[in-house]
Structure formats: structure tokens, C-alpha cells
């Protein structure tokens, strides 16, 4: 489930909420106002095809990380 950052337009409280993309923004947890604005934030990136951390099979110095040494 995605995490979104919001700012309440009434009390200026910044808060984070997790909800489905299809759901409406939640009310402010501090004052209860429903007029909140989604803040621009960088997306979380998970996974990927490139392994860049050393493994137990020898570490980076021995090619165990997948880098060409």
C-alpha cells in the first residue's frame, strides 16, 4: 500500500498516511479538517535487477557481488 505525505490547509500540520491509491485523502489527525493537500515526495524504489551488495560467496573483491573486476 502506498504512503502519501499531506499538509493540512487549516492547521498546517504535516502528516503521512498509508492508503490505496483509489481512496480519498484522510482528514488531518491533529485537527480533523478534511481540507488537506498532498505534498510532492520522491517515490520509494524497491528491488531492481542489479545486485550491488557483497554476498557471502566472496564479497565484492572476488566478484561475488556481480561486478566485473
- Report if residue 50 sits inside a domain: no
Q: What is the pLDDT of residue 48?
A: 61
- Report if residue 4 sits inside a domain: yes
Radius of gyration of the chain (CA): 20
- Report if residue 10 sits inside a domain: yes
Q: What is the pLDDT of residue 68?
A: 63
Q: What is the pLDDT of residue 30?
A: 97
Q: Residue 30's domain is classified under what CATH number? A: 2.20.28
- Report if residue 11 sits inside a domain: yes
Note down the domain range covering 9. Answer: 1-41
pLDDT at 54 over 80: no
The 10s digit of each residue's pLDDT in 26-53 is 999 999 999 999 998 776 676 665 555 5
pLDDT at 59 over 60: no
Q: What is the pLDDT of residue 41?
A: 74
Per the structure, the count of domains in the chain is 1
Amino acid at each position: 500500500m502506498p504512503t502519501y505525505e499531506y499538509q493540512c490547509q487549516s492547521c498546517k500540520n504535516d502528516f503521512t498516511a498509508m492508503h490505496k491509491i483509489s481512496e480519498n485523502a484522510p482528514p488531518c489527525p491533529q485537527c480533523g479538517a478534511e481540507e488537506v493537500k498532498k505534498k510532492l515526495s520522491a517515490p520509494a524504489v524497491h528491488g531492481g535487477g542489479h545486485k550491488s551488495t557483497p554476498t557471502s560467496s566472496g564479497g565484492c573483491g572476488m566478484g561475488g557481488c556481480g561486478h566485473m573486476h
